[in-house]
Every structure is written in structure tokens, then in C-alpha cells.
Structure 1
């Protein structure tokens, strides 16, 4: 699963996503909810690999992305289609995340 290392790397990953759904996984390393949902995130990434890309963004390293996507708690999942923000899930709700991934990827 790609993890953002630089803002330019983030932008390149967005460009490379082309027509795929992009899910930005805003996380903090010391967040228990982020750790708890990480296995599901990996499973969903594998399941929808042909239709979606998940990009992990460490909130402690990328203030500008946190501000741009208005992230206030972790984890936060931002769904993009054609570089447009189309949905957001705040918190480690496995049911919501699973349902949203299915909805976003089935409409492709």
C-alpha cells in the first residue's frame, strides 16, 4: 500500500491513478483506531486493486494535506473520483468503509 513520503510523490500518485477511485487513508502511527482498521484497509486494497488505489497519509508529517482535506480526527478516509472529493468517512467504522468501497468501485 503506497504511503506518502513527499507532497510531490502524493501528486504523482494521484495522477497515476487515472480513472481509479482514490482513497486517502489519513492516519497517525500512535492511533489505536488506525491500527485496528489497518488489516481491513489492506484487505479492501487487495479486493479492489483493479478499480481503486489506497494512499496512506501520515497526519504528523503532512499538515498541508491535512488542512486541504479538512482532516480533524483519525482515521479519516477521503474518497476521490477524477481528483474530486466525493465522500469522507471519519473514524474506524469497518461497516461504513466496506460499504463505501463497494459502492464506489461498483459504479466504475
Structure 2
């Protein structure tokens, strides 16, 4: 991962990073082979840097964490899932603009 502000999620750290988080979390379900996912990564890196301390931006590689992908019913990627107080609040699928993602975060 290019940004130190992006968190890589696994089944082992998901609860600690998302469920127990005191700030909102945006989880990006993605895969290495997914072109749109790669297009979304720089946008998420920017948001992670700009919103550090206000929101966590995290990534789940669906090929490496298939149980998490199944748990959140991931059918298409990239899929962004928005959490507040450990509860899933919203979901968007596909490449989104920075503004669209930020407005979802601010709605939390």
C-alpha cells in the first residue's frame, strides 16, 4: 500500500479496526486484478491522508479475505462500505469521485 494512512484489513484485525473504532470507517473491498479498484486507490489514499484522525480508510483484498467478502455480501468490486460505531451504515459500488465518498463520510 502506498499510503501509511490506509489500513489493510484481515479477518484477524477487522473487529479491532472497524467494529471497535471510535471514528467512522470506510472499507474498500477490492482485488489486485480489478482495474476500477486500482483507479479508486489513489482517491482513497488522498482521503486517508486528508481525513486522518477523523475517518479511517481501510482495504480488504477479497481474494485474501474471502470470508469477510462473503460476510458483507460483496458481489461487485470495488465496493465501499461505510461504518459508524461498528455498524454498517451505507454501501456504494463502483469507482466514485472523491467528493461523493467524502459526502457519504460527512453524512455519518
Q: Is 1:11 the counterpart of 2:15 in the alignment?
A: yes
Aligned twin of 1:57:
60
Segments of 4+ moved more than 3 angstroms: none
The aligned residue for residue 68 of structure 1 is 71
5+ residue gaps, structure 2: 1-5
> How far 1:68 moved relative to its partner?
1.2
Indicate yes or no: 2:78 matched with 1:44: no
The aligned length equals: 103
SS in 1 for 2:53: coil
Matches of residues 12-31 of structure 1 in structure 2 within 5 Å?
A: 12-15=16-19, 17-18=21-22, 20-31=23-34
Q: Structure 1: 5+ residue runs without aligned partners?
A: none
